[in-house]
Amino acid sequence: MSDDGAATCQRSLDHRDSPGTLTINQLLLESRIGLERVHASDLEREMAAGALVVDTRPVDQRERDGDLPGAVVIDRNVLEWRLDPSSPHRLPIAGDPARRIVVVCNEGYSSSLAAHTLQRLGLTRATDLIGGFQAWAALRKQSG
């Protein structure tokens, strides 16, 4: 293939040439539009009010950094099946679609995408933790 052909092929793969295609940053911004994101300083209050806090961090991050007290651990790859009230694989704690759900990842990026997906499944009060576990841990370290 000539250099011109390679350039043409590359341009056809460019996201700007594909209607409806987003960059990850655009997708992240779009996902956060409908989220009432939670600050680390408010997480304890959310839990006390009955929110289900879901830690989606991989096992290696949890082993390295520790657990999030009071959170339910659900692997990211099965999150939707475990929380969708219509799923036969849902957890018993996931029966109320109106329950507040706060998804926590390591730094607050994949949790935004996950919370948005949960909202699309009808869990309208799903959201995430700004800055993720690292923000919560930094606040805890600063406080104590």
Stretch 50-75: mean pLDDT, rounded? 98
Whether 19 maps to a domain, the answer reads no
Residue 41's alpha-carbon distances to 27, 45, 46, in angstroms, are 26, 8, 10
- Mean pLDDT across the chain, nearest whole number? 89
CA-wise closest residue to 71 among 102, 31, 116: 102
pLDDT of residue 28: 96
Whether 37 maps to a domain, the answer reads yes
Q: Is residue 135's pLDDT more than 80?
A: yes
Residue 25's alpha-carbon distances to 84, 108, 131, in angstroms, are 26, 13, 16
Whether 14 maps to a domain, the answer reads no
Whether 53 maps to a domain, the answer reads yes
pLDDT of residue 10: 39
Q: Is residue 9's pLDDT more than 60?
A: no
Q: Is residue 107's pLDDT more than 60?
A: yes
C-alpha 26/C-alpha 15 separation (Å) is 11
Written as six digits, the tokens of 142 are 């600063």
Whether 30 maps to a domain, the answer reads yes
- Total residue length of the chain: 144
Residue 43's domain comprises 24-142
Query: For the chain, how many structural domains are there in total?
Result: 1
pLDDT of residue 33: 96
Task: Lowest mean pLDDT of 14-23, 57-66, 135-144, name the range.
Answer: 14-23
pTM for this one?
0.85
Whether 7 maps to a domain, the answer reads no
pLDDT level of residue 17 (50, 70, 90 thresholds): low
- CATH code of the domain in which 41 resides: 3.40.250.10
pLDDT level of residue 19 (50, 70, 90 thresholds): low
Percent of the chain, pLDDT > 90? 82
Stretch 44-60: mean pLDDT, rounded? 98
